[in-house]
Structure 1
């Protein structure tokens, strides 16, 4: 019996409406309607529930005119949370645009799931929503999207999701003010393919993007041969780059990029001489014959000591599962180097992941509460260890879970950076 997967099944219940676009709203004042903007190519079925009415109901709507709001009649008492689950077949666009058409911009709190919607535009989708955050762990279908202009503009509570670097933006030509005026930009977009990009004016303006993140992005985009020429990248107010990233910024100028209002870090700033040690190439993770295999490449390495392979079941909490030494002579290389790591994940990883998940879900209210979890974790770990001795080869197929991998690169001096996050495939 695959005991550890039974426990995973108990701890990680499968999400319902796995294909739907799911949003959540909180109303401080009573209301009889919920309003947003959208475009459809036919009728969309929308199921709703509220915290005071968990049975809820169903609405059907269609709208081909983006200037006409979608208004759902829903009785909402003060303080209620509303969940909308929209079927993806005919849905093409959802947007708030700062409360356009009296859309409930203050009430929108979360996108919980993107679903299988073939989105046609993300322009102004969540623009001006002060309480909005994105907690969806799936990746939106952006293959038809041309504009992401002001997608998260002035979303003061928004922080980019862990898997945003997996978004396929290769067809997008407008990212103007996409992350402008948000609370904190903390995600590396080095992996984004910008081959269609034309306008990214103010993309990171006043986004509190860190010097380290901005520097790595400049380096990666400058080194990527797919990066478009002649991009408008002006008005990056507040963005600061390392002295070591200046050459990459200049390389983008050479490609015809128009960059303005960012600034180089001052000497003495910890970021000023920040090492940009590794440029990652392709990263791939897959399950083959019950084992996890990870392959990656580096395009350049500087002062690199080793790599640590980290795994997760939620894409947020990662644990180390192995390490690989750098193949570069003295940690330095200007040519592509290929790496491989393989490991059976049947026991240790699952124990660690379940422990992390239990601690996170139980919360950290008091030290007494944390101590009370340790016997439970020990019991589960012991049970999993016993089960693991039965030579059972696990597979994600057994419990329909997702596994995520990232590579931690560690310098000779102990500093480190992370690669993008990738989802392990099943072969």
Structure 2
């Protein structure tokens, strides 16, 4: 019973702060405040702690004019780390814009959690923040965001999060210079829905995107029926595409895209004749009467070895639950193919089993003096999860829990590509 209460207390504590926007700041010199820019729809409750004052305090701020700075009065000794937990109810925008209004752009080191904030804009959010790292494993609510212009421009330490393909950018119209001059962005964005996009000039300019990922992205966008016409995609300095991607680049130009300053790989470059991998079509997953059903499509396949079906309790940490072979033995296809996978399981058992992974990830970034205490709670939680996984008397469905599915396509040579992550629909 004691172990149960410990694990329950951990989960309740985590849930209580799971909705907050959490940032971390490091001050080399003493200060009496933190300054940033933002927009609110009323008062925002903010809890703060520092490395020298772990108890911290709670304060409130509001700002209806995003042209004016937000200053939070906190005593900060030199060398201290400050953590801010901002409640989401009235928070609408947060940005540094390279020190605009005296913002502490150099002191911001981490966004640890996006929280349940209904963001209105990501424009110039982290411009030229030299020490900024995006460590959040949750996904921002971007449904109300129209502009991501210069969101990470010149932030040299920025590395895209592993779950960036989960970001819903379907309402965004402006991505100009979003990753420009970071030098550290190297991800494909094949799953993004660009249906509202009009301007992406300089989006990947000197971003560090590889020829492979740029080529994959071009191909996927060209083949996606949601991709709009007439997009400004000029000034992609440093971006290189494969010879095998030229057809898809031309297809975008035929849709009215203006593309400039990228370059085709030269013969002899390993990327020149690269095989563009499996392109996924729609992926769907549902659970009914304890039966998980996963359906997906591929538009094309090249050197496809097999598919791993993976599940997750949080959309971040995945575990394999099944495998499906390609329909063509040689792994090559130029026509759309449909696949399916089904497995009998209780949604509670599935969530409990993969919850072990989610639970263990919570403490990954804890400081050393907290890890010992967390380890005790973690062991209790894992024990409960294992017990839950082995019980056959559990009900078959839990309408209040969520879990996620993705398809991992593995090439014959071992390279792999993941599909978009989809939430399981419970019927």
Are 1:210 and 2:210 matched, yes or no?
Answer: yes
* 1:120 corresponds to: 120
Separation of aligned partners in 1, 2:7 and 2:402: 12
Are 1:337 and 2:337 matched, yes or no?
Answer: yes
Q: 1:306 to 1:199 in 2, by over 3 A?
A: same
Separation of aligned partners in 2, 1:355 and 1:136: 16
Q: 1:385 to 1:60 in 2, by over 3 A?
A: closer
TM-score using structure 2 length: 0.84
Instruction: Map 1:114-193 to 2 at 5 A.
Output: 114-193=114-193
Q: 1:52 to 1:423 in 2, by over 3 A?
A: farther
CA shift, 1:243, in A, is 1.4
The answer for unaligned runs of 5 or more in structure 1 is 364-372
Is the 2:311–2:354 contact (alpha carbons within 8 Å) kept by the matching residues of 1?
Answer: no
* 1:422 corresponds to: 422
CA shift, 1:180, in A, is 1.1
The answer for unaligned runs of 5 or more in structure 2 is 366-374
Instruction: Map 1:21-420 to 2 at 5 A.
Output: 21-313=21-313, 315-328=315-328, 330-343=330-343, 354=356, 388-393=389-394, 397=398, 403-420=403-420
Separation of aligned partners in 2, 1:360 and 1:20: 15
Q: Residue by residue, what CA displacement relative to the aligned partner does 1:152-191 show, whole Å, maximum 9, x if unpaired?
A: 1111111111222121211211101101122422332111
CA shift, 1:277, in A, is 3.0
Separation of aligned partners in 2, 1:426 and 1:197: 32
The alignment yields a C-alpha RMSD, in angstroms, of 3.3
Is the 2:313–2:354 contact (alpha carbons within 8 Å) kept by the matching residues of 1?
Answer: no
Q: Residue by residue, what CA displacement relative to the aligned partner does 1:103-144 show, whole Å, maximum 9, x if unpaired?
A: 011111222222222211110011111111222222222122
CA shift, 1:100, in A, is 0.5
Q: Residue by residue, what CA displacement relative to the aligned partner does 1:52-108 show, whole Å, maximum 9, x if unpaired?
A: 222222222221222110001111112222121222222211110001111011111
Is the 1:34–1:74 contact (alpha carbons within 8 Å) kept by the matching residues of 2?
Answer: yes
* 1:367 corresponds to: none
- Is the deviation greater in 329-338 or in 116-125? 329-338
Separation of aligned partners in 1, 2:158 and 2:266: 28
Separation of aligned partners in 1, 2:364 and 2:36: 35
Separation of aligned partners in 2, 1:309 and 1:344: 14
Is the 1:287–1:395 contact (alpha carbons within 8 Å) kept by the matching residues of 2?
Answer: no
Matched position secondary structure for 1:244: helix
TM-score using structure 1 length: 0.84
CA shift, 1:328, in A, is 4.3
CA shift, 1:33, in A, is 0.4
Q: 1:325 to 1:356 in 2, by over 3 A?
A: same
Q: Residue by residue, what CA displacement relative to the aligned partner does 1:346-381 show, whole Å, maximum 9, x if unpaired?
A: 889977874797699689xxxxxxxxx9xx99xx79
Separation of aligned partners in 2, 1:326 and 1:11: 43
- Is the deviation greater in 344-353 or in 82-91? 344-353
Q: 1:68 to 1:358 in 2, by over 3 A?
A: closer
Separation of aligned partners in 1, 2:165 and 2:108: 24
- Is the deviation greater in 218-227 or in 262-271? 262-271
